[in-house]
Chain A
Amino acid sequence: MKRIVTLLALGAIVFAQAASAQTLKTVKDRGTLNCGANGSLAGFGLPDAQGKWTGLDVDVCRAIAAALFNDASKVKFVPLSAKDRFTALQSGEVDVLVRNTTWTSSRDSSLGLSFTGVDYYDGQGFMVRKSLKVNSALELNGASVCVQQGTTTELNLADFFRAHNMQLKSVTFATANEAVKSYDTGRCDAYTTDASGLYAERLRLANSNDHIILPEIISKEPLGPVVRQGDDQWFTVVKWVLFAMLNAEELNITSKNIDEMMKSTNPDVKRFVGTEGNYGEQIGLTKDWAVRIIKLVGNYGESFETNVGQGSPLKIDRGLNKLWNKGGIQYAPPIR
């Protein structure tokens, strides 16, 4: 009799409705942010030898944690492959996915997920051996290309070769690691992924100087954080954390001068640091939400330089990722 009652109770739980979307409350109660990250891409999401995670995407997650808990270390990073990243977010295993994921219309609609912004404007490129004496991607007719499965990279590769009437032999692997390794052994002539990834992976090859990255960028790859649909408040929080980092760079607020900036009389800066208005509380955070982010993590420019820019082994030029008033297209709406 007892067993039957237990069975029926379990059955009732099965049919219980999922709790309505309250990610912000859940994360605050839990005390840590569960962040889906790459785990093996230098410059974006990579744990170092001591287990500390670094990267541009990692900094976005740490910024969210800083805004919520005033402690940028209250993040649990979950390394995800290209195959299971969306399922992990859909199922609730992670609260936000910041894993160099390209923003596309099908991903914005049919997955039940929403992109909150773009933390890196990227594009797909090719890497080949210098010894092939290839100077342009248009000379790759008949080449075999190593690629990671389940990515927009795979689709763009097929499109590019088809559009230029070139023969393609693609070799797909489950993870980027295997694809790069096979490219290194000579199984394929070229390796393709987002240009930022090419710079990162080139460092890991046996002889970085033997490889060049071809100049063609064959696609638009706006990489950004992703959250579940149906939770507007959490969507707003994640969106504005990134915008805060961009606005800080625009206002020349850095982690070094944030303390002096607290006393500034500039109205934009006052609204940013919270001495005027209650914009933080309107979002669902605290008054000093933006100060926490900049003090504990830094602004967008600092994060870029340390992780992928001149202060890192990748040395990627800011390019499109410069601010809108400096020649790039990073543009954040104002905090007011």
Chain B
Amino acid sequence: MAVKGPGFPVPVFPASAVDTWGDVQELRARPEVRLVPTPRHASVLLVAGSIPPEHREAVDRVHDQLPHPRATVWWRTDPDAPTRAGRTVEGGPDEVVEAIIAAHLAVAVDPEASEPDRRPDEEAHEWRGVGPNGQGGEGMMGGTPYGRPMAMTGDDRDGLALDQLHLRLGPFLDALPAGMVLDVTLQGDVLQQVAATRPGAPVAAGTTVAPGRQGLHGLAHGLHVQGLEGLAARAAGLALDCGRGREVGPDLVRLRRGIRRSGLLWMLKGTGVSGQVGDAADRWAHRLDRVEAAVGGGAPPESTVLDLDDLGPLLEGRTLGDAITTLVSLDLDLDLVAQGVPR
């Protein structure tokens, strides 16, 4: 169903758990929806997969950040989770796209049907500041405006003693791999400390997803993060075809040519250099080899799988943009291939 007109493609913000992350990436191939990077741009919130209990509050928080009119679509969510407003879908991508369009049209026609806030409309902490700007401290130092302490200075890479900003990124941040939470300490745009966590993926043993399709999901996401939306949509389309059992080998060769012509690998040279696995360009080339081998049914070449604990030392000292580029060039989702994803 291709719908044209104002409000289409429907801007959708996906909050996906680890098990359905790949299927959400396939939606990049659908012309009816557009996956947007922040809830502010979205009309529909797509909650996909079994969200771990510790991230359910984050889903509600993201929901409240969508502007009105807004709607929620729940896709293959945990039936035990507390029920919330919205449409529930169990089927495949066709069904979920239909539900998203229906939800979008329903709130567009009747804005009163927009979903109310799930959390109280009050500041997390009250304003308690004193001083000339209410910051509570002296000058630009100290104090706790809105209950959040001001960033304080510390030693840094460039010897500038800049303020340290502590952020917890994820689990629904567009640029991060499925379900990953990064606790970072930023000074300027340089990551000083990084701790990556990921909730125990509730992945039950079941039918396996073909490694080729899995690789294409990662490829689609990586291309999207690198800003190559057209190529990302093509990779997602190939993943969709893979799921339908079509032969995608020749198309993958064409996609690979497209990636080479985009200059992506050339730009990534020298970025994210790590002792064992070369730079980001090497890793992308290696990943393309592996996807190609997996799609062809051959044995994929050996790859180095990084443990989450090794991520910190790899990302520390890089700028945020460099770190994200490094992160999407790594293969962090291989454990899912082995375990399989339940349908």
B is a partner of A = no
